Structure 1
């Protein structure tokens, strides 16, 4: 049973330190699974770790955490080659796509080489819930600040653009990100930009933001935009704690 409409959950969260495992899946991941509408069987998560180089050790940690949560993880590794000639079938056979963080610039380049961008768009339209953290949030938007090129943040504007907005992640934990968002909006390099503190997420149905969510008590979400007079404003969004 796919989600009843195209759904994206773009986050700066999703993981917790584990008790018996290295990590556990946090409430934002569980919410992505709930949004998929699966019942009566084990939910299947397509984990994509391109942005961090398809690290097999992380795949193992994610699989262990998914198993603990009662989910099945499938890893779509593109290094050194895709796991199948049928990427479409691989992705559309899952209920949720969860994209791990890392280099969003590298992620976008590799996905486009393999045509995964088109597959993911079809999956989104078909009711597979698209979700992720950090690079896995930026990728669905037009772009935003990234450290893909080095310690000094740069703006990218070549995201997949499924969502017609820009995005800022780790808004509270990395002090250089907020000023760069504001500067980018002021200059016109960024349009309306939705931002998340660590532990917060943005839920979109179609291309409409319908809700901001947080798995931590003090995590916030914000919209930064420029008005008709050229003034940049930052507005805190209402956040539902999950």
Structure 2
């Protein structure tokens, strides 16, 4: 929470064609909008080129016009936590439709963990308890499954294989810590990483129900300016 903006944030600004004072809005609904996390984000971006704001929904929205605020951004950055709660809260507030409109208008949608799964059909989640379960109620803009923390939690890889193999989740992609997926429209354009050795994978169900895992070429992003 104390880290300054990293290579992925500067890359998101590049994708948004916003190289000077890129506007980034941070969403932390996956953890219930804790004040400490919001404050840590402002501290992290302080003194950087980024013009940071946040959208809070707990206990109530912190901006009068959510749609106008989101559409004015270059980047929307979504933090991790419970992807099930995240998507449910967004839908209650109609934020899912606003975010979709912003995405279609060219705002870059990005995030980590729950903030990565949410754009997809689903993935594995600990939203319901310590044992990983399937999550199939993502926004679905990207019609794939998304496996996060692929090298950091021992349940993640076998659970993704199981769920795709059984047809619970569609074919999709997975990322190790530090790696990310870049889509242009709904097509995967490339995999990127903020360090050497972080990898991304394609996961495809074979006719016999097994899952074929293919390592994707992963481009290491340049070190951001100090």
Q: Would you say 1:34 and 2:14 are equivalent positions? A: yes
2:214 alignment partner in structure 1: 235
1:126-145 alignment to 2 at 5 Å?
Answer: 126-145=105-124
The one of the two structures with greater contact order (alpha-carbon pairs below 8 A, sep at least 6) is: 1
Instruction: Determine which of 42, 48, 60 is the counterpart of 2:39.
Output: 60
Q: 2:224: which partner in 1?
A: none
User: 1:161-240 alignment to 2 at 5 Å?
Assistant: 161-240=140-219
Deviations along 1:152-177, whole A, 9 cap, x unmatched?
Answer: 01101110001000100000001100
Between the aligned partners of 1:132 and 1:230, the Cα distance in structure 2 is 31
Do 2:123 and 2:136's aligned partners in 1 also have CA atoms closer than 8 Å? yes
For structure 1, which runs of at least 5 residues remain unmatched after alignment? 1-14, 16-21
Q: Return the offset for 1:201.
A: 0.3
Equivalent position SS for 1:219: coil
Displacement of 1:69: 2.4
CA contact (8 A) 1:63 1:72 kept: no
TM-score w.r.t. the length of structure 1 is: 0.89
Q: CA deviation at 1:231?
A: 3.1
CA distance in 1, matches of 2:134, 2:121: 10
- Within 2, Cα distance between the matches of 1:229 and 1:169? 25
- Which of 117, 121, 139 is the aligned partner of 2:96? 117
Q: Separation in 2 of the partners of 1:148 and 1:95?
A: 29
Unaligned runs of 5+ in 2: 222-226
In the alignment, the residues of structure 1 paired with residue 64 and residue 141 of structure 2 have an alpha-carbon distance, to the nearest angstrom, of 24
CA contact (8 A) 2:165 2:211 kept: yes
Give the Cα–Cα distance (whole angstroms) in 1 for the partners of residues 35 and 11 of structure 2.
25
Residue matched to 1:5: none
Tell me how far apart the structure 2 counterparts of residues 213 and 69 of structure 1 sit (CA, whole Å). 22
Cα offset, 1:214, TM superposition: 0.4
Distance 2:35 2:200 in 1: 32
Asked if the contact 1:181/1:193 (under 8 Å) is kept, the reply is: no
- For residues 72 and 52 of structure 1, the distance between their equivalents in structure 2, rounded to whole angstroms, comes to 23
In the TM superposition, what is the alpha-carbon distance from 1:206 to its structure 2 partner? 0.3
> Structure 1 residue aligned with 2:29, among 47, 50, 55?
50
TM-score of the two chains, using structure 2 as the length reference: 0.95
Measure the CA separation in 2 of the matches of 1:179 and 1:230. Answer: 14
Structure 1 CA distance, aligned partners of 2:136 and 2:71?
Answer: 27
